[in-house]
């Protein structure tokens, strides 16, 4: 009996182990039978009865990745800009707070009072509420309309062309291009992420996904600026396979005025060197010297005249005119340079500039048929600065007085003839844009003058208007 006990015990253990293995096998077969069937070509959720290959989903993923990368780049740019604006606003607020704590030690501009962010936001909203984009405007006539200018991704079509020949500006100036790119990105942000109060329903693409607009969907835009309120932008977007257009209106309100500089300018000792290249035109030079005597010698009295004469014919007449003016008005601040060469305006201006060796001076490059006033000379002094600014005035050309005043027995005095209106003349053609000032590098003259290491101020190449000439 003692030997049968252990044998029975061992058989019982093997029996239990066999039952456990059998149960595990049955359970495994059951799980295999109940598992869901897999199909490599099954469609994705949301797509019914359509099968797509691997290349389609790779292209779809790549397109989505490019879209989100461009969106991330745009958001990073906007975040950087907002951070910069926030920093500038914080500095302004800190400066205003310091001024408030220091006390009113001087008289400041009223627009520099302290403003909280909520006050500033309220002011910007008030600018929009007062603008024509919100309430419209009653105009006295069609001349009071503020016109729009149109633009696309590559071009800006200007309404006021100035001296340019074509209304199309291409390539667009960098500052204007950056402004319009920012506006288009803001319009895309409005369309792709609408607010709750926007009257817009989410549209779905052909595959059921959310419709996303990008820069290629921008069709055209219009903008105009109300000088005292801000700039209005009208943007239009359209998908190529849809008939509906998306229209977004944006407004950039102008903020309050901020003081940048307050300085005193002393022009009492600033001499202007009027440089006139000349050849043969002695009658025109005689008329020029009459105006020069009345304006520069009798009124301004801070002028030096440099005449660069080309050739020999008429040189004696020019000398006699200068000597006559000098004897009548006791004026000796002039230089006559004779060049036995063919007339070259650029060569004459360069020679006249190099002839000056009396220190700092403001150079006025002038023509013999230019009429200018004492106020214009002061404008040259105020708008030119060594190493920073030059002054380019736009010439106004008058027509022949024999034609303009043909119905009058005697032409009116010169002062009345110089009234600028459409019937009397036009703006002179020039390659220069009608800008008041333009930056330049410090100008140093060549040859022996450059050794003195002087910096020169420069005015523009013409005066404010041109006297009438008989033809």
What distance in Å separates the CA atoms of residue 182 and residue 151, rounded to the nearest whole number?
Answer: 13
Q: What is the CA radius of gyration of the chain?
A: 40
Q: What is the pLDDT of residue 205?
A: 59
Q: Which of 263, 219, 239, 258 is nearest to 385 (CA)?
A: 263
User: What is the pLDDT tens value at each position of the chain, 471 positions in all?
Assistant: 455 566 667 777 888 888 888 888 878 877 776 655 544 444 444 444 455 678 888 888 888 888 888 888 888 888 888 888 888 888 877 777 766 655 444 333 344 445 556 777 777 777 777 776 666 667 777 777 788 888 888 888 877 655 555 666 666 778 888 899 999 999 999 998 887 666 656 666 555 577 889 999 999 999 988 887 788 899 999 988 888 888 998 988 887 777 777 888 888 889 999 999 999 999 999 999 999 999 999 999 999 999 999 999 999 999 999 999 999 989 999 999 999 999 999 999 999 999 999 888 999 999 998 888 888 899 899 888 888 888 888 777 776 666 677 777 777 776 676 665 656 666 654 333 333 333 322 232 222 222 222 333 333 333 333 333 332
What distance in Å separates the CA atoms of residue 420 and residue 47, rounded to the nearest whole number?
Answer: 73
What distance in Å separates the CA atoms of residue 214 and residue 271, rounded to the nearest whole number?
Answer: 58
Task: Tell me whether residue 155 is exposed, middle or buried, using C-beta atoms within 10 angstroms of its C-beta: 0 to 12, 13 to 18, 19 or more.
Answer: middle
Task: Decide: helix, strand or coil at residue 274.
Answer: strand
Cα–Cα distance list, 54 to 45, 51, 62, 136 (Å): 16, 10, 12, 56
Cα end-to-end distance, the chain, whole Å: 153
DSSP state of 305: E
Please, are residues 459 and 367 in contact by the beta-carbon 8 Å criterion?
Answer: no
Please, are residues 248 and 329 in contact by the beta-carbon 8 Å criterion?
Answer: no
Residue that is written with structure tokens 């050849």 in the block: 279
What distance in Å separates the CA atoms of residue 377 and residue 379, rounded to the nearest whole number?
Answer: 5
Q: What is the pLDDT of residue 202?
A: 60
What distance in Å separates the CA atoms of residue 404 and residue 423, rounded to the nearest whole number?
Answer: 7
What distance in Å separates the CA atoms of residue 468 and residue 471, rounded to the nearest whole number?
Answer: 10
Please, are residues 454 and 357 in contact by the beta-carbon 8 Å criterion?
Answer: no
Tokens describing residue 217? 């969907």
Q: What is the pLDDT of residue 318?
A: 94
Q: Which of 359, 364, 361 is nearest to 307 (CA)?
A: 364
What distance in Å separates the CA atoms of residue 124 and residue 289, rounded to the nearest whole number?
Answer: 55
pTM score, whole prediction: 0.53
Q: What is the pLDDT of residue 368?
A: 92
Residues in contact with 397: Cβ distance below 8 Å, sequence separation at least 6, in sequence order: 425, 426, 427, 428, 465, 466
Q: What is the pLDDT of residue 114?
A: 52
Q: What is the pLDDT of residue 56?
A: 82
SS (H, E, C) 87-150: HHHHHHHHHHHHHHHHCCCCCCCHHHCCCCHHHHHHHHHHHHHHCHHHHCCCCCCHHHCCCCEE
Count, residues in the chain: 471
């Amino acid at each position: 009996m003692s030997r049968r006990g252990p044998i029975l015990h061992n058989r019982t253990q093997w029996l239990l182990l066999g039952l456990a293995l059998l149960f595990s096998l049955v359970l495994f077969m059951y799980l295999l039978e109940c598992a869901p069937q897999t199909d490599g070509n099954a469609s994705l959720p949301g797509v019914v009865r359509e099968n797509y290959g691997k290349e389609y989903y790779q292209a779809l993923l790549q397109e989505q990745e490019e879209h989100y990368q461009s969106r991330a780049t745009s958001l990073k740019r906007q975040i950087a800009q907002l951070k910069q604006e926030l920093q500038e606003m914080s500095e302004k607020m800190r400066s205003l707070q310091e001024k408030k704590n220091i006390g009113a030690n001087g008289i400041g501009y009223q627009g520099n009072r302290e403003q909280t962010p909520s006050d500033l936001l309220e002011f910007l909203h008030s600018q929009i509420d007062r603008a024509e984009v919100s309430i419209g405007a009653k105009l006295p006539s069609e001349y009071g309309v503020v016109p729009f200018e149109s633009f696309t991704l590559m071009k800006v079509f200007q309404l006021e062309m100035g001296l340019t020949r074509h209304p199309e500006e291409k390539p667009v100036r960098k500052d204007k291009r950056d402004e319009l790119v920012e506006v288009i990105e803001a319009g895309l942000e409005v369309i792709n992420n609408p607010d709750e109060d926007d009257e817009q329903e989410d549209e779905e693409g052909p595959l059921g996904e959310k419709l996303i607009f990008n820069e290629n969907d921008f069709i055209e835009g219009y903008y105009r600026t109300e000088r005292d309120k801000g700039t209005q932008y009208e943007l239009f977007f359209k998908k190529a396979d849809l008939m509906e257009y998306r229209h977004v209106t944006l407004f950039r309100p102008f903020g309050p005025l901020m003081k940048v500089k307050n300085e005193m300018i002393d022009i009492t000792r600033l001499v202007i060197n009027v440089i006139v290249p000349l050849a043969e035109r002695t009658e025109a030079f005689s008329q020029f010297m009459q105006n020069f005597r009345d304006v520069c010698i009798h009124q301004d009295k801070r002028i030096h005249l440099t005449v660069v004469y080309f050739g020999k014919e008429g040189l004696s007449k020019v000398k006699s005119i200068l000597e006559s003016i000098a004897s009548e008005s006791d004026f000796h601040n002039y230089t006559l340079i004779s060049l036995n060469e063919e007339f070259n305006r650029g060569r004459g201006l360069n020679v006249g500039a190099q002839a000056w060796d009396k220190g700092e001076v403001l150079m006025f490059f002038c023509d013999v048929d230019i009429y200018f006033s004492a106020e214009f000379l002061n404008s040259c002094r105020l708008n030119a600065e060594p190493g920073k600014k030059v002054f380019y005035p736009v010439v106004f050309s008058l027509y022949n007085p024999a034609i303009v005043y043909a119905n009058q027995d005697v032409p009116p005095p010169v002062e009345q003839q110089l009234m600028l209106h459409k019937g009397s003349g036009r703006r002179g053609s020039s390659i220069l844009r009608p800008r008041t000032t333009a930056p330049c590098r410090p100008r140093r003259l060549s040859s022996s003058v450059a050794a003195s290491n002087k910096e020169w101020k420069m005015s523009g190449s013409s005066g404010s208007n041109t006297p009438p000439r008989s033809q």
